[in-house]
């Protein structure tokens, strides 16, 4: 089964949050797809944790190297269609990239991001749970 996974779900696994086991179980034997922007989002999330003094520099590098080991298929979003979604729902383009890909490829979304999940529901997209 193909699943569209977002940065919140990936970060939960990388930094050992409570949802880690659920995400690993749901994604076992699945193909994970994600927008090609994901490495940038992960880098940003890691530096945000550093800024809040939750990770040290060397830990950031270790976690990012762990991220690179996750078998992900990067997919290009149709930016124009994503921008239409972003404007329609007044959301960030980054979230709309996930929604556009899920909609176009008819993929279920695995996310912990409540606003993204809410918009996905408004678009009648399939979800795989795991709401924080």
Q: Report residue 68 as tokens.
A: 């690179």
Q: What is the DSSP letter of 55?
A: S
Q: What is the pTM of this model?
A: 0.92
- Confidence class for position 132, pLDDT limits 50, 70, 90: very low
pLDDT score recorded for residue 92: 95
> For 55-69, what is the mean pLDDT?
95
Q: How open is the CA angle 100-104-105, to the nearest 5 degrees?
A: 115
With respect to CATH, is domain 2-122 assigned 1.10.3720.10?
A: no
Q: Where are the domains of the chain?
A: 2-122
Radius of gyration of the chain from Cα atoms?
A: 14
Report yes or no: 67 and 7 within 8 Å, Cβ to Cβ. Answer: no
């Amino acid at each position: 089964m193909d699943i569209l996974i977002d940065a919140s779900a990936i970060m939960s696994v990388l930094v050992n949050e409570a949802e880690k086991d659920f995400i690993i179980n749901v994604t076992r034997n699945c193909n994970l797809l994600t927008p090609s922007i994901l490495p940038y989002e992960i880098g940003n999330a890691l530096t945000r944790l550093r800024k809040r003094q939750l990770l040290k520099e060397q830990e950031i590098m270790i976690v990012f190297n762990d991220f690179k080991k996750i078998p992900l298929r990067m997919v290009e979003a149709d930016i124009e269609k994503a921008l239409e979604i972003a404007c329609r729902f007044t959301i960030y383009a980054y979230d709309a990239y996930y929604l556009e890909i899920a909609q176009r490829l008819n993929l279920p979304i695995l996310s912990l991001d409540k606003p993204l999940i809410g918009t996905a529901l408004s678009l009648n997209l399939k979800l795989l749970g795991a709401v924080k």
